A and B are shown apart, each in its own frame.
Chain A
C-alpha cells in the first residue's frame, strides 16, 4: 500500500482498538457487548494486516497466539458458567456475584466478565479465520 494508507492506518487503528475495548467494557450499560466489541477489535488487526502487507513468519506466530487466546477464552467462559453450579443456588449460568447498583461500571455481577471473555474469543476467532486465509494464499503462491 502507499504511504498515505499506511500513515492513516497507523493513526486510526489504535482508536478503533480503544473503541472496541470501550464497547466490551460498557456492554452492560450501553448498546454493544462481547460480540460487537470483539468484531471491532478483530477489525483493527485486520486493518493493520491489510495496510502493511503480510510478513509470512510473523503471521504464523500471530496465528498461533490468536488460536491459543480463542480456546482459553471459551474455556474461561465455560468455567465461569460452571462456577454458578458450585456456589449459591446451583444453577448453570447462575449470577452469584453481588449485583451492585444498576448503571455503574462495576455492577451486574458476572455479566461484564462474560462480556470481556466472549469479546476476546470472538476477536481471536475472526482474526484466526482471516490469518488462516492469508497464510493459505501465501502458501499456494509459493
Chain B
C-alpha cells in the first residue's frame, strides 16, 4: 500500500508541476484536477471514505467553476522575464526543499511503520465514542459531538465566504 500511495503521490507532484508551467490555462486547470482526484484515491486506500466522498464532489464542482471561469476569460498565461530576482527566488526554494528533505531523513529513523500507531487522543476517541455519542459512524460522532466548535467554525466560514462573494459580485455587477 505504501508503494501505491508513493506512485500516486508522484503523479500528484507531476500534475502540480505541469499546472504551474502549462502555457494554456485550461490544461493547467485539468492538471490541478489530477491532484484532487489522486487525493481521492489516496483517501480510499487509507480507509477514509468520509473524506473521499467530500473530496470527489468538491473537486468536481470546483473543476466545473474553474473551467467556466477560464473559458470566459483569457486562456493564455501572462509570462514575466526570468531576471535576477527570479534566480534568487528559485535558489531559496531549492534550499528550503533540501532542508526539508534533510529533516525528513533525520526523523524517518524514529517513525513507526505506516498504520501501526494511533495518537493517544485518537485512542480516547475510538474507545468511548459509540457509548458516549450513540453514533455508529465515528467520524460524525467526533465532528458533531466532541469537536462541535470546530464544525460550527467551518459552517461560519462557509457563510462568511458566501457573504463576501455576494458583496463583491453584486457591487461590480451593478456598476457594469
Q: A108-B134, A125-B158 are in contact. Are A31 and B68 (CB under 8 A)?
A: no
In angstroms, Cα B154 to Cα A136, docked, is 26
For A, the interface residue count at a CB cutoff of 8 angstroms equals 53
In angstroms, Cα B57 to Cα A23, docked, is 13
B148 near A31: Cβ-Cβ < 8 Å: no
| Across-interface contacts of B156 in A (CB, < 8 A) | 74
A residues whose Cβ falls under 8 Å from a Cβ of B: 23, 27-36, 39-40, 42-43, 46, 50, 67, 70-71, 74, 77-78, 81, 92-93, 95, 99-100, 102-103, 107-111, 114-115, 118, 121-122, 125-126, 128-130, 132-133, 135-137, 139-140
Interface presence of B111 (CB below 8 A):
no
Which residues 145-159 of B sit at the A interface, judged by CB distance below 8 A?
A: 145, 148-149, 151-152, 154-156, 158-159
Sample of 8 more A-B contacts, CB < 8 Å, known A129-B162, A135-B173: A28-B137, A29-B137, A31-B50, A74-B159, A95-B145, A102-B134, A115-B144, A136-B169
A28 near B135: Cβ-Cβ < 8 Å: yes
Contact with A along B71-95 (1 / 0, CB 8 A): 0100000000000000000000000
Q: DSSP majority for the B interface?
A: helix
| Across-interface contacts of A115 in B (CB, < 8 A) | 140, 144
The total of interchain contacts (Cβ-Cβ below 8 angstroms) comes to 141
A50 near B64: Cβ-Cβ < 8 Å: yes
A114 near B144: Cβ-Cβ < 8 Å: yes
For B, the interface residue count at a CB cutoff of 8 angstroms equals 44
State which of B58, B133, B134, B137 has its C-beta within 8 Å of the C-beta of A30.
Answer: B137
In angstroms, Cα B140 to Cα A110, docked, is 11
Q: A23-B53, A28-B141 are in contact. Are A103 and B136 (CB under 8 A)?
A: yes
Which A-B residue pairs are the 8 nearest by beta carbons?
A: A99-B134, A93-B148, A31-B49, A108-B134, A139-B173, A108-B135, A28-B135, A36-B53
| Across-interface contacts of B152 in A (CB, < 8 A) | 77-78, 81, 93
A28 near B57: Cβ-Cβ < 8 Å: no
In angstroms, Cα B72 to Cα A58, docked, is 22
